[in-house]
Amino acid sequence: MLTAKQHELIRFIQTRLEETGISPSFEEMKEALDLKSKSGVHRLISALEERGFIRRLPNRARALEVLKTPEEAVSSPRARNAAAANAPSAANDTVGAATAARTPEPANDVLEIPLHGRIAAGAPIEAIEGQSSLPVPAALLGPGDHYALEVSGDSMIEAGIFDGDFALIRRTDTARDGEIVVALVDNEEATLKFLRREGGRVRLDPANASYEAQIYNPAQVQVQGKLAGLLRRYH
């Protein structure tokens, strides 16, 4: 069951694809749905993507494909199966024909995501407080809810993460071994490290030979997100 805004957005995308062969920009979708920010559009697109109504085409700017409409979702199983088999092909034909006729515009949509202060890439620092926002190119963010942290320290330099970088974090409370996570230690200190589990313990590994791994009991460590991307300023 879609919300009114989700239904309105998928209709708008479908209409624009039929008219021009190119999906609308985030700015156009924001204005069409009368939303206050592009982050609202991002959340709607992520929700539609998770429900299988649309998908983002990789390595292409402003490329969304409608996999099914709300009407197809509530039709009979036989109709749903037929729609699922035919819709991607038809949509690909439409997008493919339009692509041959015109060059996609550069992806310049920008989202405002929360910036929650600084995160230690060294020894843990006090739990992050305060909030502002950071403009981020939408192309750097995939599905899910995101926030940003400014990196403080040099313990992750061998992973290409430097002091002053902005770490783009996807909110989650789970992660696989070897992923770079935001870990809250003892409900007081936050740090950015590789997560590993061994012998019933949690190890937070740096990416700098000058630092030692931090080892904790599982109850001491809470995953608050995992690294999705980086932004770097050059002065």
Phi-psi region of 59 (alpha: psi -120 to 50; beta: other; left: phi over 0): left
The DSSP symbol for 140 reads G
Q: Is 193 a catalytic residue?
A: yes
Q: Which of 208, 230, 98, 57 is nearest to 151 (CA)?
A: 230
Q: Which of 173, 174, 114, 119 is nearest to 146 (CA)?
A: 114
Q: Is 25 a catalytic residue?
A: no
Coil vs helix vs strand at 151: strand
Marked catalytic residue, from 23, 25, 152, 155: 155
Identify the sign of the CA torsion 216, 222, 227, 233.
Answer: negative
What letter represents residue 90's amino acid?
A
Distance between CA 165 and CA 192 in Å, rounded? Answer: 12
Marked catalytic residue, from 38, 68, 193, 226: 193
Distance between CA 24 and CA 9 in Å, rounded? Answer: 10
Catalytic machinery residues: 155, 193
